[in-house]
Amino acid sequence: MANILPPPSKTRYLTVPDTAAKKDSLKQFSVDEVKQHNKEDDLWIIIDSAVYDLSKFVDLHPGGAHVLLQVAGQDATEAFFGMHRSEVLTKYGRYLIGTISGQKPVHILPTPGTLSPVPYAEPMWLAEGYKSPYYNDSHRRLQKYIREFNDEFVRPDAQLHELDGKRPTPELIRKMGDLKINHMRLGPNKFLHGLDLPGGIKGEDYDYFHELVVTQEFSRCGARGYMDGFQGGMVIGLPPVMNFGSKKIQEEVIPEVLAGRKWISLAVTEAFAGSDVAGLRTTATKSEDGKYYVLNGTKKWITK
């Protein structure tokens, strides 16, 4: 029978002992060695084949010192995962000192930039063994770059502000301006020409599948409300300026908005006109001296 399964995965899902940057120089210990370190001032434990020296952490442990003393020198994998989110290990990776020789980690730790092993959690083109004519190496490089950026910077900001109802942190949007990520939210356009974009992409080569990658990756921050305020106004507000603005307006508005220093919105919808754009009631009339437009009316549902 023909083998219908895709080839074995070459994707590396990072696991617990990979958390510290020092992973290549990690020492190997035996279970018996760890057993010797079972006192309050010399306390090691094993979690998922990794060895942690908690001697300096015992008194700081939010769950108390006594629980750690109960498992001092032992394998505390089950107790640990029963009471903590796995991310705790990433945060406290500094206590990792080695691994147990001959043991392999079984728990998967979400580490910035990695692919999810959960079935259907990733688009098909990222799965090993599948080929797509639409995505090339440049899309893969960009996907990896944005995944890391999203995991490290956007997701924490999104989770925080989804709860407190505040807008994305302005510094984050400015950082995205510096890295030219804002620029990539608007699809291929002439304002990208001459730019070196993340993932080693030339502005001229930027295509709609690159934009799709960026949009899909950011949607992984898991915060639907936050995402609308995450440059949603720019994504729909800047194209009219790019396509129809005078040169003067373009020069004034586009660089500032892309740099994350100014916000822009597209104000079409009104209380009495949504789909029916011809029914707009807001008026713009020239001031008597001809210098300004005087706006009158109401707008509604305008995304910033």
Ligand X SMILES: Cc1cc2nc3c(=O)[nH]c(=O)nc-3n(C[C@H](O)[C@H](O)[C@H](O)COP(=O)(O)OP(=O)(O)OC[C@H]3O[C@@H](n4cnc5c(N)ncnc54)[C@H](O)[C@@H]3O)c2cc1C
State which residue has the least CB distance to ligand X. 274
DSSP-based helix, strand, coil % in the chain, nearest 5? 45, 10, 45
Interface pick for ligand HEM out of 83, 163, 249, 277 (rule CB under 6 A): 83
81 is an interface residue for ligand HEM by CB under 6 A: no
- Rounded CA separation 118/188 (Å): 32
242 is an interface residue for ligand HEM by CB under 6 A: no
- Rounded CA separation 37/43 (Å): 5
303 is an interface residue for ligand X by CB under 6 A: yes
CA 90 to chain CA centroid, Å, is 16
170 or 279: whose CB is closer to ligand HEM?
279
CB of 161 to ligand X, least distance (A): 16
State which residue has the least CB distance to ligand HEM. 63
Q: C-alpha dihedral over 167, 190, 268, 303, to 10 degrees?
A: -10
CA nearest neighbour of 181 among 166, 164, 201 = 201
Applying CB under 6 A, the span of 66-74, 150-158, 207-215, 281-289 interacting with ligand HEM comes to: 66-74
| DSSP output for 72-120 | TTSB-HHHHHHHS-THHHHHTGGGEEEEETT----SB---TTPPP-STT
> Site map for ligand X, 209-238, x if CB under 6 A?
-------------------x-------x--
Total residues in contact with ligand HEM, by rule CB under 6 A:
23
Q: Which two tokens stand for residue 84?
A: 């903590």
Applying CB under 6 A, the span of 29-37, 124-132, 196-204, 263-271 interacting with ligand X comes to: 263-271
119 or 165: whose CB is closer to ligand X?
165
31, 75 in Cβ contact below 8 A? yes
241 is an interface residue for ligand X by CB under 6 A: no
280 is an interface residue for ligand X by CB under 6 A: no
187, 212 in Cβ contact below 8 A? no
CB of 281 to ligand HEM, least distance (A): 10
CB of 63 to ligand HEM, least distance (A): 2
Residue 79 interface partner, choices ligand HEM, ligand X, none, CB cut-off 5-8 Å depending on type: ligand HEM
- Rounded CA separation 81/77 (Å): 6
CB of 280 to ligand X, least distance (A): 10
Q: C-alpha dihedral over 71, 76, 78, 80, to 10 degrees?
A: 90
Mapping DSSP to helix (H, G, I), strand (E, B) and coil, where does residue 294 land? Answer: strand
296 is an interface residue for ligand HEM by CB under 6 A: no
Strand pairing partners for 46? 51, 75
Applying CB under 6 A, the span of 85-93, 163-171, 178-186, 190-198 interacting with ligand HEM comes to: 85-93
| E strand spans, the chain | 27-29, 38-39, 42-47, 50-53, 96-100, 196-197, 201-202, 283-286, 293-296
- Rounded CA separation 304/302 (Å): 6
Residue 100 interface partner, choices ligand X, ligand HEM, none, CB cut-off 5-8 Å depending on type: none
Give me the residues that bind ligand X (CB under 6 A), please.
Answer: 228, 236, 265-269, 274-276, 301-303
Give me the residues that bind ligand HEM (CB under 6 A), please.
Answer: 45, 47, 52, 54, 61-63, 67-68, 70-71, 76, 79-80, 83-85, 88, 92, 95, 271, 298, 300
